[in-house]
Amino acid sequence: MTGNIAMFANLDENVKSEATTRTDSKISVKGNGRVSIRARNGEQMIVPEVYYVPGLKCNLLSIRQLIDKGYNVFFKDDTCTIRDIPPSKKIIAQVQMTSNIMFPLKLRADLKEGRTIAAVTQEVFQEQVKDVNWLWHLRFGHLNFRGLNLLHRKGMVKRLPLIKKPDNLCEGCILGKQHKESFPAGKSIRAKAPLEIVHSDVCGPMQITSFAENKYVLTFIDDYTRKTWVYMLKHKSEVFERFRHFKTLVEKQCGHYIKVLRIDRGGEYISKDFLRFCRENGIQKQFIVRYTPQQNSVAERKNKTILNMARSMLKAKHLSHEYWAKAVICAVYILNRCPTKVVMNKIPEEAWSGQKQIVTHMRVFGCIAYAHVQDQLRKKLDGKGEKCVFIGDCDESKAYKLYNPSTKKLIVSRDVQFIEDEAWDRSLEKTVNVKTIVSHEEE
């Protein structure tokens, strides 16, 4: 059974019936057809006689029907093995049992709508379950489980439950973070107070501009607390103006002054106006050697971490690359609430502000969110909620930032209902379940 009509290679919608769940409730069947899937080697396979059940949150593959059709299904220890119909008997799939006693099998399905074909990951062999471990992994922008466990164990944030590492892998992390093995890092001088050393770097240009037509990412990292600030730029020439804004902001906030600015020799940092401003304000510039980014490793690693997290969040919710700036800003917000090796027993935000952070307001980036429409902005019979995509938290107003892809409108609202296991489907203009292992958590 599946609730996604786009998965069918062909569908006979004249087939109407009912199916009974294990809780004896009835669900309506609105069609029967064939679903095309692809194996790891690229071979196309057909799953026949699949029921179409609108509203079904996860795909179900029946063990009984597999056996009836001649497939061999074996359960041994914690592994389920499916073999093809004789005489082939080749292994089709092997699935490890997870901690919640489920067998999640990931398949690549060909989704067809008109002439458009897109591959998405679907979950079968499992029911929709509430797995708090995966939920917080997604809320923290695909932060590794070791980091989540450290946040709870050291009490770095408030109201985060104990997180256990699941047995299965996160495809969003694999697609967004896979990397080469790193070289051993050397030691550098650490700051002993906030703003004593500030690292900065410009990342870009991006191949695709953001919704606001930005192409560059400018980061500032305080060496002492590792708190990060990020700015989006259309042109590199904007760096100087952004730095002046950043300097005024942070020095007012913490009462310290920027003493050292560690940067590369990019033209945006060595303009006459920039150099004169640094001299007049007593800011020492530490330039790294040309083509030696290792000397500015703090900024380089931070940029890599930010982009890895943003990439994972985009891939997990199948969002277009135009959302990259929203994902980067959200990633920085999350990373300021994640543990770091150089700041003991504190997250960067607490080290900077001195306040323990509460994290129960965090939600999964890219999920579906319904913003309440004020009475003054709607007619009597208009809907009271507006469907949007969650793109981050708004510190200034303690609210959520949402984006409506239909109206191209940015919304900031406190009255929001979330469906964290669903994502926006641009082609079908409806929601599709992307990670059925996660469901909404009641507060």
CB 235, CB 216: distance < 8 Å: yes
Task: Retrieve residue 426's tokens.
Answer: 């641009």
Beta strands in 39-146 (DSSP E): 44-51, 72-76, 79-83, 91-96, 105-113, 116-124
Orientation of helix 132-139 relative to helix 145-153, angle to 10°: 100
2: left (phi over 0), alpha (psi -120 to 50) or beta: beta
C-alpha distances out from residue 426 to 2, 57, 312, 317, 430, Å: 20, 18, 19, 11, 7
Q: Greater confidence, 241 or 188?
A: 241
> pLDDT for 24-67, tens place per residue?
667 788 899 888 777 666 677 778 888 888 877 778 887 877 88
Q: Of 1-5, 89-93, 321-325, 403-407, give the lowest mean pLDDT range.
A: 89-93
Domains of the chain: 5-124 (no CATH), 197-355 (3.30.420.10)
pLDDT at position 231 is: 97
Q: Of 101-110, 207-216, 330-339, give the lowest mean pLDDT range.
A: 101-110
The dihedral of CA 232, 234, 239, 240: what is its sign? negative
> pLDDT for 162-174, tens place per residue?
888 877 778 778 7
DSSP, collapsed to helix, strand or coil, labels residue 157 as strand
pLDDT at position 436 is: 36
Q: Of 78-87, 167-176, 407-416, give the lowest mean pLDDT range.
A: 167-176
The dihedral of CA 323, 324, 329, 331: what is its sign? positive
> Model's pTM, two decimal places?
0.65
User: Considering the chain, what is the average pLDDT of its residues?
Assistant: 82
Is the pLDDT at 290 greater than 80, yes or no?
no
Q: Greater confidence, 279 or 433?
A: 279
Q: Of 117-121, 251-255, 405-409, give the lowest mean pLDDT range.
A: 117-121
Please give the average per-residue pLDDT across 151-165, as a whole number. 89
Q: Of 118-127, 201-210, 303-312, give the lowest mean pLDDT range.
A: 118-127
Kindly indicate the confidence band of residue 122, based on its pLDDT and cuts at 50, 70 and 90.
very low
Neighbour tally for 135: CB within 10 Å: 23
Beta strands in 250-356 (DSSP E): 260-263, 284-287
DSSP, collapsed to helix, strand or coil, labels residue 214 as coil
Q: Greater confidence, 253 or 167?
A: 253
pLDDT at position 127 is: 34
Residues listed for the chain = 443
Is the pLDDT at 274 greater than 90, yes or no?
yes
Task: Retrieve residue 428's tokens.
Answer: 């079908």
Tell me the C-alpha distance between 389 and 366, whole Å: 5
Partners of residue 110 on adjacent β-strands: 119
pLDDT at position 426 is: 65
Nearest partner of 221 among 113, 141, 63, 340, judged by Cα:
340
Q: Greater confidence, 192 or 115?
A: 192
Kindly indicate the confidence band of residue 121, based on its pLDDT and cuts at 50, 70 and 90.
very low
pLDDT at position 107 is: 66
Whose structure tokens read 């089709």?
92
Task: Retrieve residue 334's tokens.
Answer: 């999350």
What percent of the chain clears pLDDT 90, i.e. is strictly above it?
Answer: 41
Please give the average per-residue pLDDT across 415-428, as a whole number. 82
> pLDDT for 346-365, tens place per residue?
999 999 999 999 999 999 99
> pLDDT for 169-198, tens place per residue?
787 787 788 765 554 444 567 889 999 999
Orientation of helix 272-280 relative to helix 239-254, angle to 10°: 20
pLDDT at position 302 is: 93
119-133, 285-299, 348-362 — which one is most confidently predicted on average? 348-362
291: left (phi over 0), alpha (psi -120 to 50) or beta: left
Contacts of 36 (CB under 8 A, 6+ apart): 9, 44, 45, 46, 47, 109, 110
What percent of the chain clears pLDDT 70, i.e. is strictly above it?
Answer: 82
How open is the CA angle 131-136-139, to the nearest 5 degrees? Answer: 130
pLDDT at position 265 is: 84
pLDDT at position 124 is: 39
